[in-house]
Amino acid sequence: MHSGNRTVPRQLFARAPDAKNRITKFRHVTSILQMRVNIASGDALSVKNDLRMFTAEAALNEISEFF
């Protein structure tokens, strides 16, 4: 999303405080991974085309050291 690439990914990672921690599968080998975790806010929040997401810097701070 940050790079402007709007193709449909095979799996979209959705963060939400009330998510069910599960994978929802769709046709054409695509799915959404819903994870119950904190969402972006304050300086970590970026809004592009009405889509709320982490800034690139904040997203890099959220990933595991094993990534």
Residue 3 has pLDDT above 70, yes or no: no
Average pLDDT, the chain: 83
The side-by-side arrangement of strands in the sheet containing 22-26 is: 11-16, 30-36, 22-26
Task: Report the amino acid identity of residue 21.
Answer: N
State if pTM tops 0.85.
no
Specify the 3-state DSSP secondary structure of 6.
Answer: coil
**What would the mean pLDDT of 31-48 be, rounded to a whole number?**
85
Structure tokens at 22: 């599960």
